[in-house]
Amino acid sequence: MAGEPPATGRRPLALMGLLGFASGLPLLLTFFTLQQWMSESGVSLRAIGLTASIGLPYLLKFLWAPILDRAPPGALAGLGRRRGWLLPVQAALTGAILLMAVSDPNRHPLALVLAALLLAFCSATQDVAIDAWRIESFAPRLQAAALGCYVWGYRIAMQVSGAGAIWLAGRIGWHGAYVAMAFCSLLGLLATLLIREPARLVGPHPAGGGWDEQLRARVVAPLRDLLARPGSGLVVAFVLLFNLGTQLADTMAAPFYHALGFSRDAVALANGLPALAAALCGAAASAFCVARYGGSRTLIIAAMVQMASMGLYLALWQAGPVTAMLLAKVTVEGFAEALATTTFLTYLSRLCSTEYTATQYALLSSMAPIAWRTLGGGTGIAAQALGWPVFFSGAILCALPGILIMLTLMRRYPSGLPPRPAPLASRP
């Protein structure tokens, strides 16, 4: 076993927050902020809706996650498995943001989309490495605290790359704003240089063998272990559908604000400090509710709060371009999404077997946005055909299946998560 023992103390938790910042920064640069840029450039709703497909690497990251369990090539191997992969991936991530900065949605739309795809790929790969580092570096009793620090850093980064980038675009232009985001991404490189490589425990994966053996051991076996559990079909359905309504609505948020006549500064203000404060409160509320009511009940509470927050899209449609209403809508939405995200990530972490923690987490977190990334590409067409009120009403209804599935799981398994079978190695 090589590397450091499980982390303790405040410094590793602070670095976890910094890695959360690095993980959260790229997301809106390929999503909401990019859509705001495209909306102002006169790009059609259909094309903007298709940007949801840019995030496909987040779905498919489990395919190359096993590579990150191998030693990195060349001189990078001396840094260890986690740090050795993180450094080059983070450098490529910064380069991808710079490529977006020198592109243009009108003159070079294909170059912009390809750069955004590269950024999404690097971001998804970085997420795999960071999740593996978190799970391997912190003792079980500190996992919740580490995840909390990660979510705080993640939400702060989303404010920087969302409201911050939009505000900067009004002062230095979109190209300058993306260059500034590239500099912010260097914080991830700094964090990777400061963290310690975790101990490498001997697990169920073979050290050698061909790629077929590696594939069976690192992907097929963890997936079989996950699906062999009682209730696994319902669990997978819940993971797929829990956030679908919110994700579909969020895909059209930027063009919706633009259609209502909100200025760039109004959108930046609404997504600024009030939304950040609400998101941090939502993450803290998740920890309290999970401890008080349990993870399953908190997921239902979070889904209902999200449905209520999506109702504010309709209220905003009725009110028109009223900044106070936009501020209220985004603030409530920030609280609801942070509450749901933190609780959902805790749920995913608890689903993982200790034998396959990193790979199963990558598999589950890849499953979560499948419905959004596949259906989200049609949101622009749906919004254009149905109109904003009907579209957002449909998004609200999409939250109901997740609630019903969790209620079914709670009824079938009142003691908590479905029981796990014995590890594969011990089965006849």
Tens of pLDDT, residues 30-59: 988 998 898 888 888 777 777 777 888 887
405 within some domain: yes
CA distance 305 to 333: 9
Model confidence at 342: pLDDT above 90: no
Tens digit of each residue's pLDDT (9 = 90 or more) over 241-278: 998 888 888 888 888 998 999 987 888 888 778 888 89
CA distance 298 to 286: 7
Model confidence at 119: pLDDT above 90: yes
C-alpha 354, offset from chain centre: 22
How far the first Cα of the chain sits from its last, in Å, is 29
* Domain at 61, CATH number: 1.20.1250.20
Domain range enclosing 45:
10-199+211-416
Q: Which pLDDT does position 367 carry in this prediction?
A: 82
Q: What is the dihedral of CA 330, 333, 334, 337, to 10 degrees?
A: -150
Vertex 148: Cα angle to 147 and 152 (nearest 5)? 115
428 within some domain: no
Q: Is 308 exposed, middle or buried (0-12, 13-18, 19+ CB in 10 A)?
A: middle
353 within some domain: yes
2 within some domain: no
pLDDT band, residue 426 (cuts 50/70/90)? very low
427 within some domain: no
Model confidence at 116: pLDDT above 90: yes
For the ranges 33-37, 177-181, 370-374, the lowest mean pLDDT is seen at 370-374
What total number of domains does the chain contain?
1
Q: Is the pTM of this model over 0.75?
A: no
CA distance 135 to 77: 20
Q: Which pLDDT does position 407 carry in this prediction?
A: 93
248 within some domain: yes
Identify which of 425, 421, 295 has the alpha carbon closest to the alpha carbon of residue 349.
Answer: 295
CA distance 240 to 196: 34
Tens digit of each residue's pLDDT (9 = 90 or more) over 89-102: 999 999 999 999 99
CA distance 11 to 8: 8
Residue 322 sits at φ, ψ, to 5 deg, of -100, 115
Give the single-character DSSP code of 140: G
pLDDT band, residue 61 (cuts 50/70/90)? confident
Which of the pair, 280 or 421, is modelled with greater confidence? 280
96 within some domain: yes
CB 347 within 8 A of CB 361: no
pLDDT band, residue 380 (cuts 50/70/90)? confident
CA distance 32 to 389: 20
425 within some domain: no
